[in-house]
Amino acid sequence: MSHIAWLSKKLSSGKILCQACSQSCKLEEGEYGICGVRKVELGELRLLVYGLAAAVNIDPVEKKPMFHFLPQSRAFSVGTVGCNFSCKFCQNYEISQYPKEHGHQIIGQELSPKRIVEYAIENKCESIAYTYNEPIVFFEYTYDTAKLAHEKGLKNIYVTSGFETKKAIDLLAPYIDGMNIDIKSFNDKFYREICGARLKPVLEAVKYAYEKGIWVEITTLLIQGKNDSDEEIRNIAKFIAQIDTSMPWHLSAFHPMYKMLDVPCTPESTLHRAYQIGQEEGLKYVYVGNIDDEDYESTYCPSCKKRVIDRRGHIGQYVINKLKEKGICPYCSYRIEGIFD
């Protein structure tokens, strides 16, 4: 389904600038953006996947991962085809890279914003997550859905690589309550050569989303020999700590995938080392993901150090939230940062 992409601007050159993400594509008639789902047709930029969901699931919110956002709740999760990145290790490449690898073909099941909200309510979800592929490439679809969701009392989550423009974040901020943003590396070369993107816009988006009052959690997938040196891990931790030491940091294990089949799985020792570095840099909430380890997946009160949210088993499978209303620690009354009601 095609829909006008209103996050765009006509340039004096006659080209159209897409203002959704920091790829800043300038497109002529008939051209597609890097994401493969935005195209100039009859002089207008159009979003080709509006109302066309390529992946739909009901997930524990912990699986996004969002650990300080309505714990133990369900997130109605939706994604389309297309992505503005081309990560060689993409876990969802079948949908994210689909248009680029199938001659601009678009696929998906018809699902209007209204139906998404209705399904979410029918299935007792407390939030809608825009996930699986990069949500900023289907910005207008997410915006309309998120606005409707808020009217019905649901919250909204962006699971993103952090390439949103400031203009996009300004428009999203009233409706997007939480974001999980990847900081995939602290090295621009990694972003350019492995992801087809750049580091600086990601760091700017993290800061700006935080300043706009969106609850932000960070994820880093650690890949052996690519982004797992002590120095790089410490630089990411320092960057987060300088914004807010209560911003959660999820350290995730890599598994060989897509075009990166020659790199082994991340050893547990690397995840534990990164966890330690995060703590040394003053981060209050560091988590290890993609392995079952309750000690490293649970939340501890930064004040009294007691375990206040237990997480065991596969992510989201077993969660016991001991916090009182508004995230208050039951042992010492410290307020755990996040969105808890």
Rule CB under 6 A: say whether 24 interacts with ligand SF4. Answer: yes
Cβ closer to ligand SF4: 35 or 172?
A: 35
Q: Which long-range contacts (CB under 8 A, 24 or more apart) does 104-107 make?
A: 104/32, 104/36, 106/37, 106/48, 106/49, 106/52, 106/81, 107/52, 107/54, 107/81
Of 13-21, 58-66, 113-121, 243-251, the segment contacting ligand SF4 by CB under 6 A is 13-21
Rule CB under 6 A: say whether 23 interacts with ligand SF4. Answer: yes
* Dihedral sign (CA 60, 62, 68, 71): positive
Cβ distance 314 to 270 under 8 Å? no
Angle 281-215-58 from CA coordinates, rounded to 5° = 115
Among 25, 66, 183, 202, binds ligand SF4 (CB under 6 A): 25
What is the x/- site pattern for ligand SF4, positions 81-110, by CB under 6 A? ---x--------------------------
Distance, in Å, from the CA atom of 168 to the CA atom of 163, rounded to the nearest integer, reads 10
Cβ closer to ligand SF4: 20 or 218?
A: 20
Distance, in Å, from the CA atom of 176 to the CA atom of 23, rounded to the nearest integer, reads 22
Cβ distance 82 to 37 under 8 Å? yes
Q: Taking the complex as a whole, how short is the minimal distance between the CB of residue 155 and ligand SF4, in angstroms?
A: 24
Among 16, 20, 209, 277, binds ligand SF4 (CB under 6 A): 20
Rule CB under 6 A: say whether 247 interacts with ligand SF4. Answer: no
Q: Taking the complex as a whole, how short is the minimal distance between the CB of residue 218 and ligand SF4, in angstroms?
A: 21
Rule CB under 6 A: say whether 137 interacts with ligand SF4. Answer: yes
Q: In this structure, which amino acid lies at residue 17?
A: L
Point out which residues bind ligand SF4 (CB under 6 A). 18, 20-21, 23-25, 33-35, 38, 84, 137
